[in-house]
Structure 1
């Protein structure tokens, strides 16, 4: 970092005595060979026997700056063929503006016990590949040689990190269980880091030791803290549906540099106050300067606003214009990549270009607008205790009209006004104003995710159910459906694919309404035919009324979930079925009417069915009244879905009158 450069040239020497508790490479024990997956997880296909890492600081004499020296060593038992995936190794390396993380001393060995003999296969360095994931990350990849069931793989490496702001983090938990995970961090007393332990598991042990005179800077000796963290018998982290970034919940330790002391006794703060960050952002030419660019909209605003009558219609017109004018280029960020003028001229830009242009245009129209920086769901949560700009990777607009505030993201052309993409719904964002102090703001879905199905049909004498199915979709359901239709190039192609996906149902006619009226529900009307029975003259006919968007599989299958269930928005689904029966049939059995609820008004499911005259009527309502369910609510939610699935297996029985 630039702020450290003055200090670094005064370092004379740096000697860190780590005394790490590493284990011997390539040594095999009887316990390793005899290890079974029942020790920790009987379903495990592979398991970490032992994992060790250590990080320390050293002076790079050539570059004249401090680096972090990270060493990693792991031994893994492969139980069966399904565990071979653990032999595909990927090591992420961060790319900086003028450098990148560097891997050294990589070695990898597969150890198998074949016909009473130990057989070792060493990794050929020619089979190590580098892949650029994006402009910020490079992947070092290789596959362990000669994988067999029951083998043990072992590899180690050193990594040199040219940035000390984020001291090397450590993941205690991964997608396979671990018997022993140990990490040692040796940090000079000159440096203060904010450390945070994430995840729901506790450390088995942690120890802090003082190392005297381990660090020499500017002719002065400094002590070090040797921090040892151990976690044993760590279960695999299993990802399930409806969650934000796994990094939020995996057991791991993270560090961020807070401050450091210079050789002459001075102190430099790295962790800034929000006042400092506000000034940094608003004066940044790629952020605050772009928010101020009212001038580039001066000539085009009259045309954009020609049919508007009030502030809300002005905001809606500008939002629509920016969505159509700038196409996202695939990159996200809080900063403009070039500038918003260039983005408007080339009709392309990153998410920062698009939404900073939106903010500039709204401001040019004299509307009260702020920027909101946030972290997307895949990026993880932000630290609200102290400012860490690197936590944020997205910017949106907040326009205030009367007593209402609308959060806007113009990067998705099909997004209704006031609704954010689901990837933005992730806790809190920070509102940045050009003149006022910033503040935290809850990022929530502004609309309920609502779907409503209505089927009006009749059972004919030839065993066909014929009628009209009407679907109303709003909120995220409407957005997803519009995206599918647009992806199919035409409505006709979409309906054709939909027809192919439903082998029992044939669509003879369709009418899709409000496709481009994004603020209204999307309406789909289909004339359908469904072959239900080959022989309607049987004494009994069985019919399952839960064929519309039926829940086939419980999305929640863990015995315990240590992280929340995050739907992102309140959900509601209603299904109404009206089927006129031939005069010759009556109903003798049907699913039981049911009403079940989640605790604390968390949601409900109701189903009723009846016969009125010659018409069978089935009504279903599923409501999930909270966007987020905490881990302690998980088992109730799991049972809720299990009961719903069991009910939907129940048939209606039609009996022929004699």
Structure 2
């Protein structure tokens, strides 16, 4: 057949490709292959603590050419429920994508069955179509939600579905690892010669199967040919080589969140794809990755992103009011930021696109995209240079800097230029000081949409995470301890404290803070700089611990009071993942104790200094007599924010020693 007659946008290819996985049934997507052993299982031997286990998870992506060019994704998953806290595995959410231009994804053939063993018989409960619901997540993303019926401890649940997609860029990624153990997980992709994708693997677990086989296929072709004033369907055939990829992992442990892990998505075992080239028969290739200028240009012309910033005359009246009497550019920026913070409520959603920015402004509410695009638009309306900045939050994973993929971003902030200085601003949280970003945004770099090309910029806040606590205390012969403490916070600790007060209400917050535990009581609590965000947030209070009814011959005191590091956050003996503190940390505690008359020091903690290589972290502890008082000083500095997994052992031991030092007591002995 002469392929020069083919018009790629009209070609209709019918392609059927099938591969059999060794060790499985002829049709691996056939439901109902639940064994008696599956139903009788009461625990999972490799992990007896598991609340549930994925028995089988199979996905397959292939290309369809029966209606333009489409991707088809099929999935079958089978899960065993082992404990009560595993019942939430019966809830499924299937995301799918749609655009206003008519291109869309469809979730089809959703089938589910719950299997229970009752009186030795297998009882099946089918998923009712009426129990499947659709929910709009944002301008483009939708969710299909369902809960499997009749699920209880001992059930096996099975779900299958198909997604047809008009978006060849959205070749679905595959997560082999889950929050519960996985016995078998497999993904297959049949790659046709028209498209090339880069494969990106994540995680630390090896493939059990990693295979690629070339299969030669003769494909039926149907195309249209113009004849006079009409067109005729033509039929022919085309030979092509299809590469059948197969990836499988088995016996995977549950993925467990660990402290100071920036993103599970970054380290969970999975594979994802990036379209790099499109080339139809007898056509020049089109390269779709690596061109950041085109990425930026297209996004600036997108009617759900860049075009939302082109017609903002509805903001002019507000801008004029905010600028009245102001000539300093930085003063203007601060006024606009304060206005957006106070007049728009963030709905908690991380988004990039918006359907209607003016509607969000009028409703005084919106996603991160809407709040911060309003901020950007209003700044521009006042004459300030401001650009949207694409961010991947910590929970979403690091952005891919090597090539543009919009799916690698999930958040928008504003990049503002005032003279020679650049400020990164986020108006979603009312308690953020000017120039500080929320912890969720401190994740490597962000992409600034400035001019025709754009640029990468580090996501760094202007604040260190600082906590400084000082106290003047008195120890009585009965063991009672009383005194005044002052706590100063800056950076994330200050933000967290202010946000907690705003969320709970000041009265509730103070009531909870007054209860310092079984032994301690806080009284006469005063809060300072609650709304003055550029200053340290401060708490002052009286701290008291009751003593015995009579003087004791020996008095024991934990000198760190209520501020001791009670446990090591790094409990695992080994760790596969890096440690990310996001921002430098400074924690300083200084306590001065007046000793009771007639008592002397029996035991005093020895001084200690701990350091990690290159001063990455340092801990200093001093207990000494000074000016007739006992002085305790503890200082922790985390100067390096990112530690590789190879450094985990040193960091864990560092914290072990810190915890041990904070646990040491002071012993006072009555003289004579």
Same fold? TM cut 0.5: yes
Alignment of 1:64-83 (within 5 A): 66-74=70-78, 81=83
- Corresponding residue for 2:657? 643
CA gap 1:495/1:27 in 2 versus in 1, 3 angstroms: closer
- Corresponding residue for 1:173? 177
- Corresponding residue for 2:214? 210
Alignment of 1:476-555 (within 5 A): 476-490=492-506, 492-531=507-546, 533-555=547-569
Distance 1:290 1:31 in 2: 53
- Corresponding residue for 1:401? 418
CA gap 1:243/1:134 in 2 versus in 1, 3 angstroms: farther
CA gap 1:344/1:402 in 2 versus in 1, 3 angstroms: same
Distance 1:396 1:345 in 2: 20
- Corresponding residue for 1:314? 332
Work out which of the residue numbers 294, 298, 310 in structure 2 matches 1:276: 294
Q: Secondary structure at 2:493's aligned position in 1? A: helix
CA gap 1:281/1:167 in 2 versus in 1, 3 angstroms: closer
Distance 1:371 1:482 in 2: 27
Q: Secondary structure at 2:513's aligned position in 1? A: helix
Q: State the Cα distance separating 1:174 from its structure 2 match.
A: 1.5
Distance 1:482 1:211 in 2: 62
Residue ranges of structure 1 left out of the alignment (5+ in a row): 1-5
* Greater mean alpha carbon deviation, residues 27-36 or residues 638-647: 27-36
- Corresponding residue for 1:417? 434
Work out which of the residue numbers 569, 576, 587 in structure 2 matches 1:573: 587
Q: Secondary structure at 2:337's aligned position in 1? A: helix
CA gap 1:346/1:33 in 2 versus in 1, 3 angstroms: closer
- Corresponding residue for 2:488? 472
Distance 1:335 1:305 in 2: 28
Q: State the Cα distance separating 1:430 from its structure 2 match.
A: 0.7
Equivalent residues of 1:566, 1:628 under 8 A apart: yes
Distance 2:400 2:322 in 1: 39
* Greater mean alpha carbon deviation, residues 317-326 or residues 220-229: 317-326
Q: State the Cα distance separating 1:501 from its structure 2 match.
A: 5.0
CA gap 1:604/1:134 in 2 versus in 1, 3 angstroms: farther
| Residue 468 of structure 2 is aligned to residue 452 of structure 1 | yes
Distance 1:144 1:502 in 2: 44
- Corresponding residue for 1:388? 405
Q: State the Cα distance separating 1:469 from its structure 2 match.
A: 0.9
Alignment of 1:16-165 (within 5 A): 16-21=17-22, 23-24=24-25, 26=33, 28=35, 37-38=44-45, 40-41=46-47, 43-44=49-50, 46-59=52-65, 66-74=70-78, 81=83, 84-85=86-87, 88-97=90-99, 100-104=105-109, 106-108=111-113, 110=115, 119-126=121-128, 129-132=131-134, 134-135=136-137, 136-143=141-148, 153=156, 155-163=158-166, 164-165=168-169
CA gap 1:30/1:510 in 2 versus in 1, 3 angstroms: closer
Alignment of 1:315-464 (within 5 A): 315-340=333-358, 342-433=359-450, 435-461=451-477, 463-464=479-480
Distance 1:567 1:447 in 2: 13
Equivalent residues of 1:20, 1:54 under 8 A apart: no
Distance 2:309 2:538 in 1: 38
- Corresponding residue for 1:654? 668
- Corresponding residue for 2:190? 186
Equivalent residues of 2:197, 2:274 under 8 A apart: yes
CA gap 1:143/1:125 in 2 versus in 1, 3 angstroms: closer
Distance 2:524 2:646 in 1: 47
| Deviations, residues 485-524 of structure 1 (Å, cap 9, x unaligned) | 222333x442122113544333331322111111111111
Q: State the Cα distance separating 1:193 from its structure 2 match.
A: 1.9
- Corresponding residue for 1:236? 254
Distance 1:58 1:314 in 2: 54
Q: State the Cα distance separating 1:145 from its structure 2 match.
A: 5.3
CA gap 1:277/1:148 in 2 versus in 1, 3 angstroms: closer
Distance 1:623 1:421 in 2: 21
Q: Secondary structure at 1:54's aligned position in 2? A: strand
| Deviations, residues 165-190 of structure 1 (Å, cap 9, x unaligned) | 22232212122333443322112222
| Deviations, residues 190-239 of structure 1 (Å, cap 9, x unaligned) | 22222211112332331111111254445433221101112234332211
CA gap 1:633/1:280 in 2 versus in 1, 3 angstroms: same
- Corresponding residue for 1:3? none
- Corresponding residue for 1:221? 239
Q: Following superposition, which runs of at least 4 residues in structure 1 exceed 6 angstroms of deviation? A: 29-36
Equivalent residues of 1:469, 1:527 under 8 A apart: yes
Distance 2:77 2:354 in 1: 40
Q: Secondary structure at 1:381's aligned position in 2? A: coil
Q: Secondary structure at 1:496's aligned position in 2? A: helix
Q: State the Cα distance separating 1:54 from its structure 2 match.
A: 2.6
Distance 1:215 1:592 in 2: 80
Distance 1:297 1:592 in 2: 63
| Deviations, residues 285-304 of structure 1 (Å, cap 9, x unaligned) | 44334445575555444542
Equivalent residues of 1:108, 1:154 under 8 A apart: yes
Distance 2:447 2:302 in 1: 16
CA gap 1:161/1:360 in 2 versus in 1, 3 angstroms: same
Equivalent residues of 2:432, 2:495 under 8 A apart: yes
Work out which of the residue numbers 249, 264, 287 in structure 2 matches 1:246: 264
Distance 2:89 2:351 in 1: 34
Distance 2:419 2:43 in 1: 65
| Deviations, residues 52-74 of structure 1 (Å, cap 9, x unaligned) | 3332223455xx65240413254
Q: Secondary structure at 2:515's aligned position in 1? A: helix
Residue ranges of structure 2 left out of the alignment (5+ in a row): 1-6, 26-31, 224-235
Distance 2:34 2:622 in 1: 66
Aligned-residue RMSD, C-alpha: 3.1
Distance 2:463 2:245 in 1: 47
- Corresponding residue for 2:576? 562
Distance 2:390 2:250 in 1: 38
Distance 1:484 1:84 in 2: 31
Q: State the Cα distance separating 1:447 from its structure 2 match.
A: 1.0
Equivalent residues of 2:96, 2:106 under 8 A apart: yes
| Deviations, residues 385-442 of structure 1 (Å, cap 9, x unaligned) | 2111232222212223344321111121111110011111112111111x35211111
Q: Secondary structure at 1:548's aligned position in 2? A: helix
